[in-house]
Structure 1
Amino acid sequence: MGSYCWSFWEGMMHPVDTIKTRIQSQAILSGSQSQKSILQMVRTVWAADRVRGFYRGITPGVTGSLATGATYFGFIESSKKWIEESHPSLGGHWAHFIAGAVGDTLGSFVYVPCEVMKQRMQVQGTRTSWTNAVVKDNICVKSGEQMYGYYTGMFQAGSSILKEQGPRGLYAGYWSTLARDVPFAGLMVMFYEALKDLTEYGKQKWMPSLDDFINSSMEGLVLGGLAGGFSAYLTTPLDVIKTRLQVQGSTVRYKGWLDAMQRIWMVEGVKGMFRGSIPRITWYIQPLHLLSWLWNFSGTTIERMDGDKKHEVANLSIERKGPSLREVA
């Protein structure tokens, strides 16, 4: 359930992610410190590629989301219970943090190569716009050599990166991805559980009759959205670093995670570290509140189904015993 919902929202929100990726990678692609705003970037993509420009890289994006969603939601419940039982000192919100972080780490082995392909395809747009950008902004490694070739699809992108840079190219920015996703996953689960506890405490203390007026599903939607928004904003600097390491290709403008962080901070300051924060928050606040609700809803539904099955089994056993008792009588 979680993986399908996650991939569905990846497809729905892909245009927002494209704008975020392009905003964050402007400095490395053009070398210009005059950065476009969100509206300016939307107009740029539309003028160059129309609708297709917003959906470049959607196939690897959805594929990576399927892998991440399956491991994240599949691992989180079982590991959370195990941590609470085997390590009582790590119970509560720390158990939620660790479960979310480990679940996201497992999905990274498939997610990172997909993310590299997706983001490079996003910044390229169509073949014409990529060629024009290379000529206009002098995006090159050596004289006459293009940053990297144009990718026509997911498999062609993967094979090209593997041929030119080897496995290291497909896993570019791997550690920076973990440095972003592990804190994000942990923070999101921890924030969500903390907000649920805080809301429940507030209702019991000040408004005990509020449950009669507020739908629990709607409450889950709001809390999930807030948790996703907070986590997304706090981890935006890590997302900027990850994007630039994965988009730079073989140009090697940044030597690593720490080098990227230092250079972005020195040249662009706080503003550079938080580039694309609004699209990033928008991307996460929309699907996460729905995913949180669906996760709780599916869990509740399964429990009810289990309860109904147990009730049916009990009735069936009574019915089977009934005739035997009559026969004995």
Structure 2
Amino acid sequence: MADQKSSTTPPPPPPHFFVWREFLWGAIAGAFGEGMMHPIDTIKTRIQSQAILDSKQKSKTVLQMVRSVGSSDGLRGFYRGFAPGITGSLATGATYFGFIESTKKWIDESHPSLGGHWSHFIAGAMGDTLGSFVYVPCEVLKQRMQIQGTESSWNLIAMKSKVAMKPGSPVYGYYTGMFQAGRSILKEQGVRGLYAGYWSTLARDLPFAGLMIVFYEALKEVTEYGKEKWKYSSSFLNSSVEGLVVGGLAGGMSAYLTTPLDVIKTRLQVQGSTIRYNGWFDALHRIWLIEGPTGLFRGSVPRITWYFPASALMFMAVEFLRDQFNDNNVREIAQASLSVESSDSEGSLEEAS
């Protein structure tokens, strides 16, 4: 009888029981990082797209661009494209962290020969690929709105460039908001316009997403090794603080290494209906030929400046949410399981007596 009762004890939750939470934590963390760092992303996009708007103008430095945006558009100019940026980050953060956890478990169990770092790289790349179906159209909308600034400053660019502001013109019309921008691009260029630079986005984001999670996991291992070796234990260096520091380093290193891919993607997405670059390889060849290595690494400083804190905040938020919710739920389920087992054992003793 005791064996029958103990067999009815509910099994412990499977390893993937809390994976769905990673989608939610990732979405919140992704939007949090994007929202905090959007003004810096605007400066990076403006610097990288200068050659598209006016090839004769001397490229501005980071500080010059900050002053330019501030004087012409005010604070509002730094937050142009905020809505599509947040929308895209929600989708990317959710799929990135959700599929990292589930894919890592699947690869480690079914293909153990791949090793830890390879499984991390593949998991990060897969998560980012799935998020790209939402992220890329949002990125197109965000970047085109970022380079426009206010309507008056965009009209001034049109006058200087001597282009007509109408559908089919070299420079597209002014976008008043996210949905109006989406409808306008669909009308003028179709679905292809919303997915402009899709393959160049994947060419940038797959190595970036894979490298970032590899760097993050590797730096966490180094941190754990250091704590064990030096017997360091402090409540200050909890998982949230560790995620802040390690996540920032991982994001900054990955951002710098993939800057050339980001430059190509930005140029392809903001060029509009007049095709200046005929695809990824043509953009790479022409940027290298005309601008040299400097052109390929244009905007690397604001890109690192954006990704270092954005990644730090994102990983910190994920680790904090994991600590606050996932661990609590695990403890609750464990306690519930123990209480069921103890009640079953008491019942068995009573029957035996």
Q: Give the TM interval when normalised to the shorter protein.
A: over 0.9
Picking from 228, 241, 259, the partner of 1:236 is: 259
Note the C-alpha offset of 1:313: 3.1
AA at the equivalent of 2:62: I
**Aligned residue pairs, count:** 326
- Which residue does 2:147 correspond to in 1? 123
1:193 matched to which residue of 2? 217
Shift of 1:304: 4.3
Give the structure 1 partner of residue 98 of structure 2: 74
Moved over 4 A (4+): 139-142, 323-329
Structure 2 vs 1, CA of residues 91 and 15 (structure 1 numbering), >3 Å: closer, same or farther?
same
- Between 1:30-39 and 1:167-176, the stretch displaced more is 30-39
User: Structure 1 residues 92, 320: closer, same or farther in 2, change over 3 A?
Assistant: closer
Q: How does 1:108-147 map to 2 (within 5 A)?
A: 108-139=132-163, 145=169, 147=171
- Taking a change above 3 Å as real, the CA distance of residues 139 and 240 of structure 1, as seen in their structure-2 partners, is farther
Q: Distance in 1 between matches of 2:261 and 2:127?
A: 19
CA distance in 2, matches of 1:76, 1:325: 46
Alignment counterpart, residue 102 of structure 1, candidates 106, 113, 126: 126
**Residue by residue, what CA displacement relative to the aligned partner does 1:49-108 show, whole Å, maximum 9, x if unpaired?**
111111111111111111111111111100011111111121210000000001000000
Rounded Cα–Cα distance in structure 1 between residues aligned with 2:179 and 2:235:
52
Counterpart-to-counterpart distance in 1, 2:47 and 2:267: 11
Question: Does the Cα contact within 8 Å between 1:30 and 1:138 map onto a contact in 2?
Answer: no
- Give the % identical residues: 64
What SS does structure 1 have at the residue aligned with 2:302? helix
State the Cα distance separating 1:140 from its structure 2 match.
6.1
More deviation in 81-90 or 238-247?
81-90
8 A Cα contact 2:26 2:94, kept in partner: yes
Instruction: Write the distance in 1 (CA, Å) between the matches of 2:271 and 2:344.
Output: 70
Q: Show structure 2 runs of 5+ residues with no match.
A: 1-24
Show the counterpart of 1:282: 305
Counterpart selection for 1:272 from 295, 306, 318: 295
Cα contact 2:163–2:171 (8 A) shared by 1: yes
Match of 2:22 in 1: none
RMSD of aligned Cα (Å): 2.2
2:184 is aligned with 1:160: yes
Measured after TM superposition, the shift of residue 275 of structure 1 is: 1.1
Give the 5 Å matches for 1:1-329.
1-32=25-56, 34-139=58-163, 145=169, 147-205=171-229, 207=230, 209-212=231-234, 215-217=237-239, 218-300=241-323, 301-319=325-343, 322=346, 325=349, 329=353
- Counterparts in 2 of 1:25 and 1:120: CA distance versus 1, 3 Å: same
CA 95–65 in structure 1, closer or farther in 2 if over 3 Å, else same: same
* CA–CA distance in structure 2, aligned partners of residues 126 and 297 of structure 1: 38
Structure 1's 176 and 256: CA in aligned 2 closer, same or farther, altered over 3 A?
Answer: same
Aligned mates of 2:112, 2:169 — CA distance in 1: 58
Unpaired stretches in structure 1, ≥5 consecutive residues:
none
CA distance in 1 between partners of 2:102 and 2:170 (Å):
48
